[in-house]
Structure 1
Amino acid sequence: MMRIRMMVLFCCVISVIACRKKSWDEYYGRPSTLAQPIYEVLQQRGNFTHFIKCIDKSGYKSTLAAGGYWTCFAPNDAAFEKYFQEHGISGDDAIDSATAQKIVKYSLVYNAYRKENLTDYQQSSGADTSVAYKRKTAYYTWVYNQGDSLILGANRNGSYVEDDNNNKYIPYFLDQYFAYQGLSSYDYNYFYPDSKYSGFNVANASVVNSDIEAENGLIDEVDAVILPLPSLEDYLKQNDQYSEFRKLLAKVVSYQSNANITERNYALTGKNDSVYIKYYDAGNSYGLAFSPNNENYLLASTDGQTDGYGFAVPTNAALIPYEAEILQHYKTFDAAPPAVLTALLNAHMWTSAPWPSKLIGSTNSSSEVPTFSLSNVVDKQLCSNGFFYGINTVQQANVFRTVYGKPFLDPSYTLMTRALDADIKFSLINPALKFTMVMMSNTVMTAEGYSYSTERSAWVYQAEGGTATTGSIPQSRVNRILASSIFLTQNAEMNNLSGEGIVESWNGEYVRYKNNTLFAGGNMDEGSVVHIDSVGTSVNGKVLYVDGLLKFSEVAIGGHLGRLANADPDDYGYFFNYLVKSTIWSNSDSTINGMTAGNPYTVFVPSNAAISEAVKSGLLPGDASTGVPNFSPSALEDQQAVVAFLQYHILNKNMVATDGKKSGDYLTLLQTLDGEPTTIKITNSVGSLVLKGMNGDVANVKVANSNILGDMAIIHTIDKVLDFNKQ
């Protein structure tokens, strides 16, 4: 009885299940309106028979006949027939599985995009319209043989991430993108002169039918077979006319074995040899702009949709003589600092893909515009990760062709180059600025006690007979000497140094020249000059090769005035005597109260005759009948007058020389009792300096006895005491 009941129950269960299955099929079955998967849609349309055979050979039938979400750029039968003819292929049977995989996988873009959405940049914050022209495909290059080694390209700039296959991107060109970016059919046909721009092109093909719906994505029918584009590295390897540039790039390549990739490759191929990741030293010690084998872009996420890299690679015929030019002192790149090779390579690399119509106005990875024109482009290729331009000249790196290049490319000036790199370099490599630069050789700097400790990463200074010091003080000394050796000469001010004159240096201090010699404040103190041995030229000025350093003065301004009073009492004696007897003089260190060390000043010293006239007029204390000054007046009013006189004849934090450069109103050290500043109006021309006081009186600089250089100061004699009493 129990057995009968169990059989009845079993039959009931089967009956219920059967009824429920019928209900599922009836209510939850495949809707008749739902499109078929990509594979079936291609079959139904009837003009993709060759592409379908490639799909079958590639092993992607099950993928495209099932789920997923793809955009498929499918070449029609006419496209394949043209492909067969162009490549001498007899038909479908002549296409091997590897080629079939390339065609199929490169035609598949992850995710389904309608035509109007292909220009959207897909990012986590939402789509940004009209800025995309590429999408990541299913195709990637796996491990390959390089000699006896197994190699896999890096998928980042200078690094590798194991869960990223370094998939190639496929480019497309739509009117919407071109209009937004200010491009035209010229930019497409520059790379594809044999293809017609249709407003919707994919690589070398035109889209003849778009947005064909399928269950697992969208199909765009194209009229040409599209093979995977080479990367910038691939294209460079394929062309021997760039072998010299390729050889230089090889110097910044390193290889590192990867255990996980080795294991994965063994599972796929059965080869148990170690796999090495090929790195270009991008962002590390060499600082290469990018890795040419990296199919991703900067962020290695989806930003490859919007941009890529650029290569302007010189032919061997152009590059080899240029190497000889920049290496005339070092002879080889191995002997030169790594920065020399990096500068050469980076000058030819763009971190944003330069479209043909915008190439000449673009900037390379060093922020430099091209020094070549489109007429120099002898070869061009749109690559999977950027644009390749083969050129019959070189991109002239600013670090080579400007005045900076003279020390940078010469091992005799490595100390100077190190000092330049700390700050001034980026001004010197600007071709729009014109400079004259005094060269500072290692020999000269060492003789003056300057060196650099690589162990401490610090400058060292040891004065003759003194103790070596390291750190900020030696560095400040070097920086000051260097800045005093660089001159902005936009109007060729130092082209002729055979006469006599004065020029302002980069840091605002002054240097004098006479009969092709130079001397700064420190040189004047010790009675030395720097001789010009020869001159070198560059695109933005010239350099002077000399036999010494331009030294800064280390004598306080009061000390200078004391020396001048002893050497030239008629022009400096009375002024100095007023100064040392005044309340603003410091006997301990010969400084003047109100003047701060490290700031620039100009001192106008009235001659003895001028001061005598001021005494006679009652402006300064003394015997009005004879003009003999009273240097130590007892009356407070007279003491204040002396201080006001001294302060009014000192420009506050400004140095002005008779070089014709600076004119206008300048503040003095003097302030009124109400705290108001006082000024002197200066009219400046070469060899002449005229001062107009606040009360309208005029004084002239006595040029022959002026332009005395001190420690951040310049001293002039003048022929009149300016009225320091504000009316």
Structure 2
Amino acid sequence: MKKMIRYYLLFLPLILFTSCSKDEVNKYYERPDSLEDPIYQQLVARGNFTSLTALIEKAGYKDILGKSGYWTMIAPNDAAFAEFFQEQGYANAAAVEDTTAVKIVKYALIYNAFRTERMSDYQSPAGWMEDMAFKRRTAYYVGYEENVSVGSGNKVLIQSNRNNAEGSIPYVSGDNNNKHISYFMDEFMTANGLGASDYNYFYPDANYMGFNVLDAEVINADIVAENGIIHESNKVLLPLPSLDKKLQESPNYSLFRELLEEHLVEYPVNQDATTAYFNYTGKTDEVLLKTYDPALIFSPNNENYLKSDDNDAQTDGYTLFVPNNTVLQTFIDEVLLKNYTSLNQLPKYVFEDFFNAHMVQNSVWPSKAAGFSNALEEDIRIDLNADIDIDPVTQKKNAQILSNGFFYGTNKIQESNLFYSVYTSAYLDPEFTLATRLFNDGSGYKEIISNIYSNYTLFLPSDTVLGELGFDYDINRTEWVYVDINGNEVRGTLARNRLLRVLFNGIVPTPNGELDDLSGSGIIRSGDVDLAGEYIKWENNQLWTAGNDELGNRVNLKIDASTGQPRYEEQSNGRTYYIDNLLQPAENFPGAVLQTLATQPGSEFEYFYNYLNNSPIFDNTVGSIDGVELGTSYTFIIPNNAAIEQAVLDGVLPGDPTVGSAADVIEEEQIATFLKYHIIATRTASDDGLVNGLSETLLKTELGEKTYVNIASAPGDLIFTDNGNRLASFIPAQSNNLANRTLIHLVDNYLLYTE
């Protein structure tokens, strides 16, 4: 019975409905009287949009805008069209070509309906994000371009609608690459720290009113229609070009475009676009897809921004800084072609780096330029006032907001680290490909020496020098190779690590140009300011490390034949010298160097060494000391003979360094304690002010605790202090002796660790 009732209740409305008359049904579904007219009818009824409605009809959009839908229309009034007709030479709307009518109407149409309170909000996947948007997607797109000159003939072309990053697809079928239109509202500008000056930078003749669309003013907002929202404007807007098209239209920047097109643009056939073109037109032409090199941070023809979210172009765009032909030609002649005879000889990565230096994957607002970085993660080094071209016709800055980004025409090259630092000496010279390869392979050296805010001296070996000394790169196996003087070969990581150490010895921080004159003599630490390398010495234009001492050779600066002086190259962050040998790493233990110093006639190292040589912590056959490891940094503090004699008198050391019987175990430990306390572990200190403060020694207490010596270093002075405040000053003439990551100093007093 309940089942029958349920069926009755289900069919009751249907019975009632079918019993109604046809008039009653029509009345039920008729359009409510309270609903506003659609956009087209609204424009007609208002009476001041006659030119716009005429173009809507001409463009074939009367039916679309006269029915359902969901649009925002930026609607120029008749006064705006009167000005437009006069500027463009049209008598009236009837004289406007159909193609132009389509451009005007479709570019004025924004997908979805937005009142002013939502125009500045971003339609994110997570919902509305307030005051983050200044662009919207329009109904206008270019689509297929026919009879475009590509290579040897005219082709059908379509533009990328995605960035061509590694692993991505530069073209997605069904995406029309619709153009966006920019607008400027108080809410967005205030929330992003922008103001009228940012707007007027691009539109100096326009009045910023708090709601502008490009250089047009919205004079009557939020006109509600059945199928959307109308915002009345005082200017007719034509679709803006993309950054790609802007380059095509700008003869003053043609050299920039030529380099880009020749080296980083390709035109492959796209089968999806070819099929769609055939289905649309019935024509069998192959469609070429214009794609930019994957290494570029963005594709200038992509209208979609990143497309990580469907609407992310509402919030941001690209920026392209484009140097004019004059300054670019000078850069080519003086920088790019300094060591090459033609641009075609340059490696592809040079072009990739150059263009990325001028590209920013964000909208660089004039007042906020200092907060942006280019694709190489460098700050923007172009002054957006002084370095922007002035158009000779308009006498205005050549800076434009385009459909997919900001364009700045410049009279200056972005002074990229890669082209103006000591790194450039190797990077732009075919004689130094091995060094460049290592700099670039994740070693971190490139980042060090290309930092134009820190000064360096670079000692640079050529491919020839590296090859003669056993280094090479096996391209087939993508690995480094090293063959020593005995013919022993190592590959891969071991070979790379050796070359890393060699090249690191040639990187020297010189904030005050300390190595601009190498005709004298001195000592200096290589490496980075934060990552210490080894010490190198120089005298009369020759250099050496502890490794060179072991091998009995020196490194010579290559001589410029025209001047007879050392050959070098000045860069914005220092100087590059060219060398005929390598600053070699040492292979022996530091104790072996001390042994050599101590066994010379009349040596002041002798007495200390006698205790070391007779101690079980020392192996005099190889020079090893317990606790001293190859490849680790140390500082040896060696009391001179008089200081050792005083230590004996003070009872700190036994009078006889030869301890051999079991009864002498206490004295043996006493000597070992003394010796280890004079070796600083993990740090190499010199009289250059680079190392100061408490430093760990080789000595550990009975409980295994570390012991420390204080270092006070200043130019020309080096003092060591024990934990009892005893001072030992280095003796300059016999100090700074080079060993394996170690300096050996002679001092005038001994140090004593006390409990």
Query: In which range does the TM-score fall when normalised by the shorter chain?
Result: over 0.9
1:489-508 to 2 correspondence within 5 Å?
489-506=510-527, 507-508=532-533
How many Å separate the matches in 1 of 2:354 and 2:636? 49
Superimposed CA distance per residue, residues 236-258 of structure 1 (whole angstroms, 9 cap, x where no aligned partner): 10111111000111020112212
1:360 offset after TM fit, Å? 5.2
Query: Which amino acid in structure 1 is aligned with residue 130 of structure 2?
Result: T
> Equivalent residue for 1:232?
243
Question: How many angstroms does 1:48 deviate by?
Answer: 1.1
Shift of 1:208: 1.1
Please tell me whether residue 150 in structure 1 is matched to residue 156 in structure 2: yes
- TM-fit CA distance, 1:529: 1.8
Shift in Å at residue 586 of structure 1? Answer: 4.2
Q: Matches of residues 248-647 of structure 1 in structure 2 within 5 Å?
A: 248-250=259-261, 251-281=263-293, 284=294, 287-300=295-308, 301-326=310-335, 327-359=337-369, 362-373=372-383, 374-378=385-389, 379-421=398-440, 422=442, 423-506=444-527, 507-532=532-557, 533-567=566-600, 570-586=603-619, 589-622=622-655, 629-632=657-660, 634-647=663-676
Q: Is the 8 A contact 1:333 1:341 kept in 2?
A: no
Q: Matches of 1:335 and 1:244 in 2, distance apart?
A: 17
Q: Distance in 1 between matches of 2:144 and 2:680?
A: 72
For 1:476-522, what per-residue CA distance to the aligned partner results, in whole angstroms no more than 9, with x for missing partners? 11111111111122233323333322111113311112222211111
Q: Residue 3 of structure 1 corresponds to which residue in structure 2?
A: none
Q: In the TM superposition, what is the alpha-carbon distance from 1:269 to its structure 2 partner?
A: 2.7
Indicate conservation of the 8 Å contact 1:557/1:591, yes or no: yes
In the alignment, is the contact (CA less than 8 A) between 2:449 and 2:507 conserved in 1?
no
Query: Kindly tell me: are residues 568 and 160 of structure 1, through their superposed partners in 2, closer, same or farther at Cα, counting changes over 3 Å?
Result: farther
Displacement of 1:290 in angstroms is 0.9
Structure 2 CA distance, aligned partners of 1:391 and 1:456? 44
Segment of structure 1 superposing worse, 700-709 or 136-145: 700-709
Change (3 A) 1:660 1:188: closer
Counterpart mapping for 1:59-138 below 5 A: 59-138=60-139
SS for the counterpart of 1:127 is strand
In 2, distance between residues paired with 1:252 and 1:273? 25
Moved over 6 A (4+): 13-16
- What is the rounded CA distance, in whole Å, between the counterparts of 1:569 and 1:62 in structure 2? 108
Q: Which has the higher mean CA deviation after the structures are superposed, 174-183 or 103-112?
A: 174-183
Q: Give me the TM-score of the superposition, normalised by structure 2.
A: 0.90
Which amino acid in structure 1 is aligned with residue 326 of structure 2? A
Deviation at 1:631, TM superposition (A): 4.7
TM-score, structure 1 length as denominator? 0.93
Greater shift, 209-218 or 184-193, is seen at 184-193
Q: SS of the counterpart of 2:724?
A: coil
Structure 1 residue 270 displacement after superposition: 3.2
Aligned match of 2:258? 247
Aligned partner of 1:659 in structure 2 is 688
| Residue 579 of structure 1: how far off its partner (Å) | 2.2
Structure 1 counterpart SS, 2:344: coil
For 1:696 and 1:169, how far apart are their aligned partners in 2? 73
* 3-state DSSP of counterpart to 2:374: coil
Secondary structure class of the residue paired with 2:131: coil
What's the CA shift for 1:589? 4.8
**1:672-695 deviation per Cα after TM superposition (whole angstroms, max 9, x unaligned):** 223332222222233332222222
Structure 2 letter corresponding to 1:274: E
Contact 1:324–1:331 (Cα < 8 Å) also in 2? no
> Which structure 2 segments of 5+ residues have no match?
1-13, 165-169, 390-397, 558-565
Question: What is the total number of aligned residue pairs between the two structures?
Answer: 705
Alpha-carbon separation, structure 2, partners of 1:15 and 1:435 = 92
Where 1:219 maps in the other structure, the secondary structure is: strand
Paired residues of 1:135 and 1:305 also in contact (CA < 8 A): yes
Aligned partner of 1:650: which letter? I
What is the letter of the counterpart of residue 245 of structure 1? F
TM-fit CA distance, 1:297? 0.9
* Distance apart, 1:176 and its partner CA: 1.2
* Cα RMSD after superposing both structures: 2.0
Paired AA for residue 316 in structure 1:
N
What stretches of structure 1 of length at least 5 have no aligned partner?
1-12, 624-628
Post-superposition offset of 1:65: 1.4
Which residue identity lines up with residue 238 of structure 1 in the other structure? Answer: E
Q: In structure 2, what is the equivalent of residue 9 of structure 1? A: none
Matched residue type, 1:363: S
**Inter-CA distance 694–260: structure 2 relative to 1 (3 Å threshold):** closer
Distance in 2, matches of 1:154 and 1:647, equals 68
Displacement, 1:346? Answer: 1.3
1:610 partner letter: A
The CA deviation at 1:82 is 0.9
* Bigger mean CA offset, 664-673 vs 127-136: 664-673
Counterpart contact for 1:578–1:631, Cα < 8 Å: no
